A and B are shown apart, each in its own frame.
Chain A
């Protein structure tokens, strides 16, 4: 009985948004927000339920359709998947509320607006699918659905710039998927299975084909994650989309491919990864952290600045790879592995909250002033204090100032850097933070400037919902810095670095 209900529960995060999306396609547009929000909330509830089940009963996996692993499709939920499921839900629901009143407010509405809800729910279903699926080919299909839905969302406004950026985004996503698929095919050719767990066990370690397969899959996913120098498509695509869409793209979509990279790196191809490859990946990440932040500092347009900031923040994610990969011949303890692993996931979490809050806040500024120039934030402290505050909170977390989620992430990252002896990453981490402080406070400084610097124009009305959702996400970015313990214990479930993996059958020690 319990296993049936938990099986159902583990499918709900995919099935619920899928049903919602289909429903939203067929019902008249004025009902869509309501139905969409209803399904958003229930998806969030399902994610929480699933994570609760995970926390109380440990690692679970299910075979859809009753087929066993080599043939069937496996759903698997562990700590890592749980964290990303909850992140997606907790960012997705406020962004949904934001989108509802944002599109109502924004006049004239473009033709694409009614498609927001079905597309976003499709996207959400594919994201959750990526987090839960344990089959390489399924993951390919889900990546393609994700790409299609994400690009469609990005071009909702129908403006020429958005269309062009969207097409570039789509080409990048397609090439990424193709490279990934080629890798999948090669991996299948050498191991004869597509299941993540079985592949990890059966791949020959020193095979050149496996290396090529891994390299192809990584290249494809890196394009999708927009790691420097493959980030060429991101700034335009993310900044030309509508505000709630930018938030989703920056906070969640790039995380899905990062999640896959993590999984492949530590679970499937852990026999083929080399120290040199890890160092190279870390170097790209470090350069991205500095370059993206520097580019953000140079932008004169708000949304473009925030989009470039995403490039920089993604760089931090990749700094963990050299830290979780031991140098050849390393014997003995490596206590920093858990730190680095948690740092990366915490960075993904903190960035998810902070970046969505920042895109929403900037979206409010742009909506209120009607211009995307950075001068539109002049005197915003006086006029839209709540939104400015949301921006400031998000910025605090991005810089990594305490108390915030970003601080916890940077703390653990820097600690792992020092204790692994790879101190050369520290200047990059610090420099990136410093540049981040530069652009965050550049905006805050402008927001304090008095209005006589610019002609005072009445602001377009800003509904309270918009401000509240942006602030809620900003507060979320701060609050996760207060309680890292739960996330860490969740991550330990089936973590590749935990001392003991909890078996499924463990039912607590009370009986």
Chain B
């Protein structure tokens, strides 16, 4: 069975998505969570690009690319905000993650 490159990307994207989703819920450390959410984003962008590339004639679909660029901007600002907030919590309370008892 032949696997097209974009299908390979799509499968990889799905795997990364599931792994990082598990990571978001399993990790306690703020930083780990932020990384996991970023990977979640990355897997979606990968899938988008693979959808954009599936055209037989080789002309990439521009809409997914526009979505990836916008999505990246949003992801960067969200990560920055989350990091800032996490640092502020660390400064005020000394905590680095959500405690298990909550």
Contact = CB atoms under 8 A, between A and B. Distances in A.
B63 interface: yes
Interface of A: 137, 140-141, 144, 147-148, 151-152, 155, 160, 163-164, 166-168, 170-171, 174-175, 178-179, 181-182, 185-186, 188-189, 194
A160 B89 contact: yes
With most chain B CB atoms within 10 A of its CB, the pick from A151, A171, A179, A186 is A171
A141 B71 CA distance: 8
Contacts of B41: 178, 181
A144 B78 contact: yes
B63 A188 contact: yes
18 contacts: A144-B74, A151-B81, A155-B85, A160-B89, A163-B89, A163-B92, A164-B89, A167-B30, A168-B98, A170-B85, A171-B37, A175-B40, A178-B40, A179-B21, A181-B41, A185-B48, A188-B51, A194-B63
A166 B81 CA distance: 11
B92 A185 contact: no
Interface of B: 17, 21, 24, 30, 33, 37, 40-41, 43-44, 47-48, 51, 63-64, 67, 70-71, 74, 77-78, 81-82, 85-86, 88-89, 92-93, 95, 98
With most chain B CB atoms within 10 A of its CB, the pick from A168, A175, A178, A194 is A178
Contacts of B81: 148, 151-152, 170
A376 B26 CA distance: 39
Given A140-B71, A163-B85, A163-B88, 8 more contacts: A144-B74, A147-B78, A148-B77, A167-B30, A167-B82, A167-B85, A170-B82, A175-B40
A52 to B, nearest CB: 34
Contacts of A163: 85, 88-89, 92-93
Nearest to A178: B40
A171 B102 CA distance: 15
Q: Give me the 3 closest cross-chain CB pairs, A-B, nearest first.
A: A178-B40, A189-B51, A160-B93
Nearest to A232: B102
Interface residues of B, dominant DSSP? helix
Nearest to B74: A144
Contacts of B33: 171
A141 B48 CA distance: 16
A192 to B, nearest CB: 8
Given A160-B92, A166-B85, A170-B85, A188 B78 contact: no
Nearest to A182: B44
A385 B47 CA distance: 59
A168 B67 CA distance: 27
Contact of A174 (B44, B63, B78): B78
Contacts of B48: 185
Contacts of A151: 81, 85
Nearest to A159: B92
A464 B17 CA distance: 53
A82 to B, nearest CB: 28
Contacts of A189: 47, 51
Contacts of B78: 144, 147-148, 170, 174
A141 B70 contact: yes
Nearest to A171: B33
Contacts of B30: 167
A137 B47 CA distance: 15
A164 B82 CA distance: 11
B70 A178 contact: no
A182 B17 contact: yes
